[in-house]
């Protein structure tokens, strides 16, 4: 069995947010895996966030100015999910095709639209300041998200790379994504 679902952690909910996210993300998972185990299923795949992976690997990170992200195609995710029950053994199996700086990713997305152009780097404050203001507005409204926007803005400036990468080019997947709408 493969479980791949999430809730929108950016949508503000009444404080405290933890019970709402537990009800939407954890409790259904527990019920599903409990029921499937009762039916005799002994292996399953939980598709999770790469933020969880990095939180486990580097809880001490202090965030620098630039960043990038691991990127993966739907094909690679599907292949990993299909193979995971036989090779996972309860382990985390991070998957990435390429590690890209934001500049590389945005340039390739622009090229996929047929409108290639230079990608300029904004100063970190152009991202962190609006994020801090948005977070303050959410708190003033007595709401909370599952994502600390200011912390996320700093995290996005980190190189969130996964090793090893498959080495598969993402150009076709980026084109498909851009043209999907």
Q: What is the pLDDT of residue 63?
A: 37
* Reported pTM: 0.64
Strand ranges (DSSP E) for the chain? 2-3, 13-14, 45-46, 68-71, 98-101, 143-144, 159-160
Closest CA to 58 of 149, 165, 158, 166: 158
Taking only the tens of pLDDT, the chain with its 181 residues reads 777 776 666 677 888 877 887 888 788 888 888 888 899 888 777 776 655 565 556 666 543 335 677 788 889 888 888 888 887 677 778 888 999 988 888 899 899 999 888 888 777 777 788 888 888 888 888 888 777 777 777 777 788 888 888 989 999 999 998 888 6
Looking at the DSSP assignment, which residues form a beta bridge with residue 70? 99
Q: What is the pLDDT of residue 49?
A: 64
Q: How many residues does the chain have?
A: 181
Q: What is the pLDDT of residue 121?
A: 79
Task: Report helix, strand or coil for 109.
Answer: helix
């Amino acid at each position: 069995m493969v479980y791949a679902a999430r809730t929108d952690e950016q949508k503000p909910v009444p404080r405290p947010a933890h019970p709402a996210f537990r009800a939407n993300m954890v409790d259904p998972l527990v019920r599903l895996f409990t029921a499937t185990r009762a039916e005799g299923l002994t292996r399953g795949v939980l598709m999770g966030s790469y933020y969880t992976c990095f939180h486990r690997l580097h809880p001490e990170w202090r965030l620098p100015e630039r960043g990038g992200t691991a990127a993966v195609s739907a094909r690679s995710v599907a292949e990993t999910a299909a193979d995971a029950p036989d090779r996972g053994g309860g382990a985390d199996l991070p998957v990435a095709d390429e590690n890209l700086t934001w500049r590389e990713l945005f340039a390739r997305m622009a090229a996929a639209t047929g409108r290639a152009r230079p990608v300029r780097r904004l100063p970190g404050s152009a991202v962190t300041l609006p994020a801090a203001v948005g977070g303050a507005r959410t708190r003033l409204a007595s709401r909370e998200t599952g994502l600390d926007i200011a912390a996320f803005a700093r995290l996005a400036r980190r190189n969130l790379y996964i090793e090893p990468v498959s080495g598969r080019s993402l150009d076709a997947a980026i084109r498909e994504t851009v043209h999907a709408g």
